[in-house]
Amino acid sequence: MDIVRSMIYAAAVIGVISTAADICAPEGSMKKQLDTVVGLVLILVVVSPFMNSDFRLRLNDMSLSYDSTVKNDIGKYSSETILKEVDNKVGEYLKEKLMQNNIGCSCVVINAELDEYNQIDIKKVTVTSSGNAEKIRNIISKELPKAQIVVNAGDNS
Q: Per residue in 106-144, pLDDT tens?
A: 788 998 888 887 788 888 999 998 888 889 899 999 988
- SS3 state at 21: helix
- SS3 state at 95: helix
The confidence score (pLDDT) of residue 57 equals: 53
The confidence score (pLDDT) of residue 52 equals: 60
The confidence score (pLDDT) of residue 71 equals: 54
* Residue among 2, 3, 11 at smallest CA distance from 49: 3
pTM above 0.85, yes or no: no
Q: What is the number of other CB atoms lying within 10 angstroms of the CB of residue 13?
A: 11
The confidence score (pLDDT) of residue 148 equals: 92
Which parts of the chain have pLDDT scores under 70?
1, 3, 49-77, 155-157
Rounded to an integer, what distance in angstroms lies between the CA atom of residue 127 and that of residue 105? 7
| Cβ proximity of 149 and 136 under 8 Å | yes
